[in-house]
Structure 1
Amino acid sequence: MKKNLLMTFVLAFFTLTSLIAQDRKITGKVTSAEDGSGLPGVTVSIKGTNKGTQTNVDGSYSVSVPSASTTLVFSFVGLNTQSVSVGNQSVINVALSTDSRQLSEVVVTGYSSIQKRTFSGATANISSKEVAKQPFGSFDQALQGAATGVSVMANGGQPGQQAVVRIRGNGSINGVNTPLFIMDGVEISAADFQTMNQGDFESIEVLKDAVSTGIYGSRGANGVFVITTKRGKAGQVQINYDYQLGQSTMPEDRLIVMNSEEKIKYELQRGNPYGWSKAESDSLSKVNFSWRDELFRTAKTEQHQISATGGNEASKFYASLAYMDQEGIVKTTGLKRYTVRANVDNTVKNFKFGLGIQGGFSDRTNTSEANTFLSSPLNAIRWSNPYEVAQLPDGSYNQSGGAGTGQLGSGQPNGAMELFLNYNFNKQIKGIATSYLEYHIPAVKGLFLRTNWGVDYTQNENAAFTDPRVSGGIARQGILTRAMNRNFRFTGTTSVNYNATFGKHEISAGVFGELIKNDFRSFQFTGYGFTNGFTNEAGITPGTATTPNYIPAVAGNGEQYGLMSAFATVNYGYDGKYFLNVVARRDGSSRFGLNNKWANFGSVGAVWLASEEAFIRDIAFISSLKFRASYGTTGNNGADLYPIPQFGRTSYAGVGAWTPSVPGNPSLTWEINSTANIGVDFSVMKNRINGTVEVYSRNTTDQFYNLPVDPSAGGFTSIQSNFGEVQNQGIEFSLNADIIKTGSFTWNIGGNISYNKNEIVALPQDNVISGVTVLSKGSPINTLFLVPFAGVDPETGNALYTKLDGTKTQTFNVADKIKYGTSDAPLFGGLTTRLSYAGFDLSAQANFFLGREMYNNDLNNIINPTYYWDNMHISVLNEWTPTNKITDVPRPGNPYRAQTSRLIDDASFWRLRNVTLGYTFNANTLKKIKVRSARVFVQGQNLFTITKFRGFDPEATGTSLTGAQYPSLVQTTFGLSIGF
């Protein structure tokens, strides 16, 4: 009996032991090695099997491990994979560190994140640290040269000025070509960057092709910038302070006007129009007053930012305060900006929720630019005679054109009066708020729900005053225009998402619903009669029937539009080598008629991770090799579209009435972008060298086009329609290499180059001329169209022109116009290098734009011999005379023609965009003074430029340098960053 009991006990013991050995439970938690916070969604796989699990929202996990298995593998996108031997452990906690190589290959689409190795889209990541350190009032200017396919041109040097950004060329003739900007899932207005602090940005992702932008449907037609702001990190509260102080100066001026001696000499040659006596001409020849020095200055820039981050695993926060004061190089201009941001993230069991708030206020003082107005002070540096001073010895303004006229003797307005007596103030209040709620369903691993809502609110106030003493304000004794507008846009996105791995198969999918609504309102009034000394509303004289000159003018406007969308994404992978990305979206826009409100868009892409194949894996030289291809469509719902007739205000016989203003077209429909993309990503020599090659073709059909119609049919000369096709084809190449990489010294170089060929494929009517440009099949948008200038006939001094048959003639004929180049650079890119040694770092970035041509209207206004009363370009001194026959400047009296190739400039340029020298203090040394980190640096922006362009700055936008140019700033800055 005892023997039987013993045998039963032994059998039960071994059975129980066997059962435990066959399947035992392992629990634990996966945290971040950087801050100790729990990591949700980490894959915990059992090596050698298809079994595994994912960590919960707080990073915890539980997995059953068979007895034959000895190792757990922990992996997550952007983190170093870690393998842990199970042994006899029942609790295994793991801290995963950041894999800097993989982190750069995580694509943030705005709706989700996906590992770049599995993604077929054309994307680029821009360093938010590099953008943050550059002292631009509008952060988009810091994007120049940072990514292939992205063209960024400064739209002037006024502090806070928005840049012109294009991704893979202009796709629309009359529609919108501006990319979409998304911040934390919410659309933001590109025109409002002056009130945003780039120091709050965590990452900036550029989406370029149909697979990457297709998730945005009609909003992604021109590419997308996805910006994510900094979030909190668990752990002890960390405080950071960043400071910059610098100065800005003018760039080199390559458009040289005459000095006093040259101008007086020229006037005497032209018959002495002002009737100077010998004594007067001798005296005036020595004046050489600098209108540049009168209106420009060396300007100061100052920035402060303090930020804090901290919390615990359940609740984390990030907050910042920032201030920027940037003077403009034109006196009186500048930008002051105040911003505040707070981001809070919380985790409660299976819920995650968060809130982000940004508030900003900017106070911007502008001056008139990019025009040929006589009243624009910036035109005075070209047009005002160098012997005419701004102020007289007694301190009063020079009005030698007549007392109380505000004009110089030449008849030009006194530019100093225009700048210092007038003002143009722009104040902006900006508010962005985002919130999200995410729920991970416990019963189904990898299934979660998420809703994200946000608003973008902007309020602008403009006050423009024209003093009654300046030439433009005399007639109505001063003018004050006060304009206010506000724009409110909300975006709501709700989704169901699922991620899972089944053996060699991995899938992630999401179904989304989205609603966007925009509401815009504006109001403006203009008052007159400033006779009591006030320069604001208190100075306005009420207008009456007896003083009609003072009757104020009022205006207002309003617009609402909405977009409703449903879309889905599916990403599938097999065996870690083959991946498929699919996007399908249906958009409904209020900007179209009933029959065309809805449109379908979609894209598909495939990836072959060739380096995972056995026959390539054994090639030690190749670290990674990926081939990808995609094709898809997106739409453009433009702006200012009118599917139904519009009416405007008018009056008849003193009675208010309505009148048709836009004919409307119920058949108006979407512009469609179809994009094909092929890309190769590679890295060699243990990732020391990596690069990307992209080839793409982007076709935009059903162009928004104002089709000319017979006005006798309804009084309108054109109607909005859908005609024409534009194509952009290009190739992009980027390369990055670690030349030297040792423990104490590193040297990295990188570069990117993009070529984009823009071509009009179809038009309802060919060769549509607009000023100095033409829309023509087979040519790019913004193609210059001018008569060829062939020099000067040495016998007559008359200008020569080339006819279409190639012969020379002295007769100007617009029928001889031919096509020249375009102002949109087909070839552009950037080069970078960075060296670091023992705490020191030196970096530099050079950008280039090649193949640009621009019409130089600024030059046109100072070589026109009929304007010789004002200052002129020095080349005019070489005009033809009987004793100076070999020249390219026609004789005085020869009819001057502006629309010739004589005024085309090569606007290509190379520019040293940024140079930074910094030193990071040793952490062990800083501990002694209880400082966590510290770095000092000096940097320069736009330090030199190589160009043939005749003007301040070749980085002008549009087809013509109109005039009144406010050039890009040459800046030097000292910076300090301290962490506590």
Structure 2
Amino acid sequence: MPSGPAANLTTPNQEQHTVTGTVTDAQGPMPGVSIYIKDSDRGTFSDVNGNYQISASTTDVLVFSYIGYRAQERVVGYLARINVELQEDITELNEVVLNAGYYTTTEKVRTGNIIKVTSKEVELQPLVSPLQALQGRVAGMEVTPGGDLPGAAPTIRIRGQNSLRDEGNYPLYIIDGMPINSTPVESNNSKLTFTGIDPLSTLNLSNIESIEVLKDADATAIYGSRGANGVILITTKKGIAQKTAFQARIYSGVSTVPNRLDLLNTKQYLQIRNRAFENDGVEPTTRNAYDLLLWDQNRETDWQDVFWGGNAWVTNANLSASGGNANTQFQINGGYQEQGTIYPGNSKYEKATVALSLNHSTKDQKLSLGLKLNYGMDINNLVGSSGSQIISLSPNAPAIFNEDGSLHWEEWAEASINNPFQGYFNASKTEANNLISNLNLNYKILNNLSFSTSLGFTNLNSKELIKVPKRSYNPSSWQTREHRSDHLIGHRKSWIIEPQLNYNTHLGNLQIDGLIGTTFQQSQNNQTGVTGSGYVSEALIGNLAAAETLTQGVNQTTDYRYHAVFGRLGLNWNQKYFLNLTGRRDGSSRFGPGKRWANFGAIGAAWIFSEENWVREHLKFLSFGKLRGSYGTTGNDQIGDYGYLDAYEATVAPGGLYPTALANPDYSWEVNKKLETGVQLGFLKDRINLGASWYRNRSSNQLVGYPLPGTTGFSMVQANLPATVQNTGWELEFSSSNFRSNDFNWHTSFNVSFPKNKLVSYPGLDESSYANTYRVGHPLNIALLYQYVGVDPETGLYSVEDVNVDGRYDFEDRVIIKDQNRQFFGGINNTLNYKKISLQFLWQFVKQEGNLALFDVGRYGAQRAFVAEALDDGSPFQNISQSIGALLAYLNVQNSDLIYSDASFIRLKTLSLSYTLPASPLQTIGIDECKIFVNGQNLFTLTGYDGMDAEFATGAGTGFGNLRIITAGLQLNF
């Protein structure tokens, strides 16, 4: 809104004069706002600090316009300075532009399911993976962290698991038009191996403009075989026409483990241990009771403090410059991020990034080009600890280190167990550098016909070195025979060329948009591993020239070629009826001759019924209403290369070959058939918006490694299994502008998803090797469990039901089928702005059951505090015992329904508070804006789950991937 006569007045006879000012919103200065003189072709844009300058006469009217905001008009008069604050306008759906990959659409007219997350929701989160920033923000999208170490790949599932293979469920990642291999980068680091290294870890979150998630067939079919599991489009920032401006941002803070286990103290623990010997009638000895007879009975350690009790400092700095004129714009961005560790030691994670965006067009706007380069490198030498050790160590266990800093072995060796910190002096260093580039050329042949081509190249190099010195292990262990190093080198590179023709025209009330194009893509993946051993000195570890012995590990190179032809036809009748037809013919080198090509396509339709006269007349409370639906097919070729060929390796003796893989030239594409219907409603001039979607995805012709009998000489063969997997669900989205005034604004958004996964059919399942893994009519992610029947009154031990009464327990007795999927999940986000103060917070919620893998009542070495209940008469737990019978009973109950409980949670995922300082004093020293902010991540969690992190409740139970992070920072625009 105008700042009032902070503006200077000109003299009455000065008809033409210069007008300056600043455009802001509730968050601060707004770059890229269009300022033009009404009913003319003269205009300009605000710079990165929101400032503008334009020549106008006293009778002119200035129009301030920006996508997603209400346009404002100001009469110039004799004012020399006009400041404007724009208000967000959630009603202008037609102005919210969505990136659909090969074309753009808007929120109002889209026929597909596309969700957009903007830079304001991503850039300040203290994370390494940009996709982790989407937790709780996108309906139908599950994002599970890969662990507590930065750089570990998160698990991404868009509308559930479609393939029986884990690697067959990765979405397609596209960054500025360049497809990225979404498979995690391999690692030998024990804490990164489980999920691998995130291929997006080298991206700078501060340089991301938006992330679009494409879900249904209408949105993804144009990507053909690559869109079966959804598409994630990441668009980085670009320059705008303005004078050169700079932005600097820095924040720092600390991360800690947000939760603690309730463990026994030494007195309680020793009481439990002594009771076990009393119950068994066994005499303690130094072999079976080293903790009672050899170790200090007064020593007490909370091993959580030792293993993960540290504070990990986080620092992030970012500097960007942008500017240009009407024909050429640029942006340069550089960033640095560092994060320490909560584990013992001084290791850390570092990332440095640089990005360039350059756009140019000719004066007649016929030819334009855009170049984007994103380069990032990171160094990760973080190592972690296994959480399972926490509940296996007694609180009176001896010290870890000697006074000289070396590992203490004597007391541990007397107990015939290893120091839990064995391997402490091992060093791990993983380096990666990644270049992602794209050049886009566009030439307007005619007013309604243009040619464009996208040329992309990506190059990812990773190098990992693990040093294993002898002093990390017990001097009497075989591991101390020699120093060792493990080396793993990976190289991924890919290029793509996508020329296309775009056509649009009007025939009366009919608007036609069409495109046709082709894709040429080639990727190469190299991986080399080697182990060096026999170093004469620890200082030489890692120098392979100094190793006595070199052992070759993995050594492979794979090539992947992909070609496609695609097209789209969009029809729009009178801005009310929409039809979208997409198709693609794909060819992949991962299939044998005759099986390489497949056709995919989709149809999407929408009806904006709120444009009908009868709705306007009789349903005036309804400001917007749209019905949409889509159906189509996408494919999946996410399998290894060359699986259709025989494979051989050289024999140890020279001159020979032996087969290692069996050929199958007949397998072909997985096919995913997607059906969706949805409705969007707006009320009270779209201050309240509601969206609902129902979907059904069926994936058939499953590509898996089919196990073979040992008599064939091979373990498996690549094949199509006659199985069909179905994902259905409801997704609800809600947004509201709760309060809106000049000084105070409050906006709320909410999403919730109700997914269902089911194995629809699998002929011959009972006779296959998956008979003990899946059940027809049930989800893929299930646990087959025994039925717990209580504590046997005769033995005092846990008892599970022997269903077939054959005296043994096996999968025929596991009659309980436990669904381990989430019942529903979502998030609720609130943004409140009062003058220069802004508050944003997001709650993430999940309804699920979880595995109490930390349940240890009945183990003679139990550590959890609630095990003390087992000492009471009438306890629901089995007797404390170290007998074989007690151990077997405990192991059986670990695979029963007893250890499952509600693992639902509500988490304050993010909280951000910022304040923009008054501009006047700062502008005298050349600073246009100064903002101070405080951010919190995973501040607290409400849950009844008795474990480290409810998000990992269906896993090991001791894992956690959500550190509590609190940061404070400063942003300067100048």
TM-score range, shorter chain: 0.7 to 0.9
Q: Give the superposition deviation at 1:488.
A: 0.1
Choose which of 297, 300, 303 in structure 2 pairs with 1:291: 303
Q: Give the superposition deviation at 1:664.
A: 2.5
Helix, strand or coil: the match of 2:102? coil
User: Distance between the aligned counterparts of 1:198 and 1:134, measured in 2?
Assistant: 8
Contact 1:159/1:334 (8 A) holds in 2: no
Helix, strand or coil: the match of 1:266? helix
User: Distance between the aligned counterparts of 1:130 and 1:770, measured in 2?
Assistant: 46
Q: Which residue of 1 aligns with 2:57?
A: none
The residue identity in structure 1 corresponding to 2:174 is I
Q: Which residue of 2 aligns with 1:900?
A: 896
1:592-741 counterparts in 2 under 5 A? 592-618=591-617, 619-640=619-640, 642-649=642-649, 651=651, 654-655=653-654, 657-713=656-712, 715-717=714-716, 719-741=718-740
Helix, strand or coil: the match of 2:479? coil
Q: Does 1:352 align with 2:368?
A: yes
CA-to-partner distance for each residue in 1:298-341, whole Å, 9 max, x for gaps?
Answer: 11000000001101111100110100001122234431000000
Percent of pairs with identical residues: 27
Q: Does 1:219 align with 2:210?
A: no
Q: Give the superposition deviation at 1:518.
A: 0.7
Helix, strand or coil: the match of 1:899? coil
1:108-257 counterparts in 2 under 5 A? 108-174=99-165, 176-190=168-182, 191-254=198-261, 256-257=262-263
Helix, strand or coil: the match of 1:552? strand
Q: Which residue of 2 aligns with 1:961?
A: 956
1:29-428 counterparts in 2 under 5 A? 101-102=92-93, 105-174=96-165, 176-190=168-182, 191-254=198-261, 256-269=262-275, 270=277, 271-274=283-286, 284-296=296-308, 297-332=310-345, 333-348=347-362, 349=364, 350-367=366-383, 378-391=387-400, 394-401=403-410, 407=412, 409-419=414-424, 421-428=425-432
Q: Which residue of 1 aligns with 2:27?
A: none
Alpha carbons of 1:240 and 1:356: their partners in 2 closer, same or farther (altered >3 Å)? same
Contact 1:251/1:967 (8 A) holds in 2: no
Contact 2:296/2:398 (8 A) holds in 1: no
User: Distance between the aligned counterparts of 1:377 and 1:675, measured in 2?
Assistant: 41
Helix, strand or coil: the match of 1:212? helix
User: Distance between the aligned counterparts of 1:287 and 1:298, measured in 2?
Assistant: 25
Alpha carbons of 1:75 and 1:609: their partners in 2 closer, same or farther (altered >3 Å)? farther
Contact 1:137/1:194 (8 A) holds in 2: yes
Contact 2:303/2:390 (8 A) holds in 1: yes
Q: Give the superposition deviation at 1:257.
A: 3.7
Q: Give the superposition deviation at 1:215.
A: 1.2
Q: Which residue of 1 aligns with 2:973?
A: 979
Q: Which residue of 2 aligns with 1:938?
A: 934
User: Distance between the aligned counterparts of 1:711 and 1:39, measured in 2?
Assistant: 74
CA-to-partner distance for each residue in 1:630-650, whole Å, 9 max, x for gaps?
Answer: 111100011215542332435
Q: Give the superposition deviation at 1:142.
A: 1.0
Q: Which residue of 1 aligns with 2:910?
A: 914
Alpha carbons of 1:768 and 1:290: their partners in 2 closer, same or farther (altered >3 Å)? farther
Alpha carbons of 1:702 and 1:149: their partners in 2 closer, same or farther (altered >3 Å)? same
> TM-score, with normalisation over the residues of structure 1?
0.83
Helix, strand or coil: the match of 1:537? coil
Q: Give the superposition deviation at 1:852.
A: 3.6
CA-to-partner distance for each residue in 1:366-404, whole Å, 9 max, x for gaps?
Answer: 325xxxxxxx554443323322234456334453457xx
User: Distance between the aligned counterparts of 2:248 and 2:268, measured in 1?
Assistant: 54
User: Distance between the aligned counterparts of 1:389 and 1:244, measured in 2?
Assistant: 40
Helix, strand or coil: the match of 2:222? helix
Contact 2:94/2:109 (8 A) holds in 1: no
Helix, strand or coil: the match of 2:594? helix
User: How many matched pairs?
Assistant: 879
Alpha carbons of 1:365 and 1:949: their partners in 2 closer, same or farther (altered >3 Å)? farther
Helix, strand or coil: the match of 2:691? strand
Alpha carbons of 1:302 and 1:35: their partners in 2 closer, same or farther (altered >3 Å)? closer
User: Distance between the aligned counterparts of 1:278 and 1:379, measured in 2?
Assistant: 20
Alpha carbons of 1:211 and 1:408: their partners in 2 closer, same or farther (altered >3 Å)? farther
Q: Give the superposition deviation at 1:885.
A: 4.7
Q: Does 1:822 align with 2:828?
A: no
Q: Which residue of 1 aligns with 2:497?
A: 492
Helix, strand or coil: the match of 1:774? coil
The residue identity in structure 2 corresponding to 1:533 is E
Q: Give the superposition deviation at 1:537.
A: 2.7
Contact 1:705/1:723 (8 A) holds in 2: no
Unaligned runs of 5+ in 1: 1-31, 46-52, 56-72, 85-95, 369-375, 544-549
User: Distance between the aligned counterparts of 2:492 and 2:398, measured in 1?
Assistant: 45
The residue identity in structure 2 corresponding to 1:138 is S
User: Distance between the aligned counterparts of 1:716 and 1:114, measured in 2?
Assistant: 49
Alpha carbons of 1:926 and 1:614: their partners in 2 closer, same or farther (altered >3 Å)? farther
CA-to-partner distance for each residue in 1:422-453, whole Å, 9 max, x for gaps?
Answer: 11211101111110111012xx3121110111
Q: Which residue of 1 aligns with 2:488?
A: 483
Moved more, 615-624 or 197-206: 615-624
Q: Which residue of 1 aligns with 2:59?
A: none
User: Distance between the aligned counterparts of 2:288 and 2:711, measured in 1?
Assistant: 57
Q: Give the superposition deviation at 1:365.
A: 1.7
Contact 1:601/1:635 (8 A) holds in 2: yes
Moved more, 141-150 or 170-179: 170-179
User: Distance between the aligned counterparts of 2:603 and 2:770, measured in 1?
Assistant: 42
Root-mean-square deviation (CA, aligned residues, Å) is 3.4
Q: Give the superposition deviation at 1:813.
A: 4.8
Q: Which residue of 1 aligns with 2:19?
A: none
Contact 1:709/1:719 (8 A) holds in 2: no
Helix, strand or coil: the match of 2:273? helix
Q: Which residue of 2 aligns with 1:25?
A: none
Q: Give the superposition deviation at 1:479.
A: 2.0
Q: Does 1:519 align with 2:524?
A: yes
Q: Which residue of 2 aligns with 1:886?
A: 875
Helix, strand or coil: the match of 1:231? coil
User: Distance between the aligned counterparts of 1:263 and 1:103, measured in 2?
Assistant: 66
Contact 2:272/2:880 (8 A) holds in 1: no
Q: Give the superposition deviation at 1:111.
A: 1.6
User: Distance between the aligned counterparts of 2:812 and 2:908, measured in 1?
Assistant: 42
Contact 2:802/2:808 (8 A) holds in 1: no
CA-to-partner distance for each residue in 1:766-789, whole Å, 9 max, x for gaps?
Answer: 358999972110010110111122
Contact 1:821/1:852 (8 A) holds in 2: no
User: Distance between the aligned counterparts of 2:160 and 2:353, measured in 1?
Assistant: 33
Helix, strand or coil: the match of 2:763? coil
Helix, strand or coil: the match of 1:213? helix
Alpha carbons of 1:904 and 1:287: their partners in 2 closer, same or farther (altered >3 Å)? same
**Rg larger in 1 or in 2?**
1
Q: Which residue of 1 aligns with 2:82?
A: none
User: Distance between the aligned counterparts of 1:504 and 1:736, measured in 2?
Assistant: 32
User: Distance between the aligned counterparts of 1:968 and 1:658, measured in 2?
Assistant: 49
User: Distance between the aligned counterparts of 1:157 and 1:470, measured in 2?
Assistant: 24
> TM-score, with normalisation over the residues of structure 2?
0.84
User: Distance between the aligned counterparts of 1:845 and 1:409, measured in 2?
Assistant: 52
Helix, strand or coil: the match of 1:960? coil
Q: Give the superposition deviation at 1:927.
A: 3.2
Q: Which residue of 1 aligns with 2:77?
A: none
Alpha carbons of 1:317 and 1:474: their partners in 2 closer, same or farther (altered >3 Å)? same
Q: Give the superposition deviation at 1:76.
A: 11
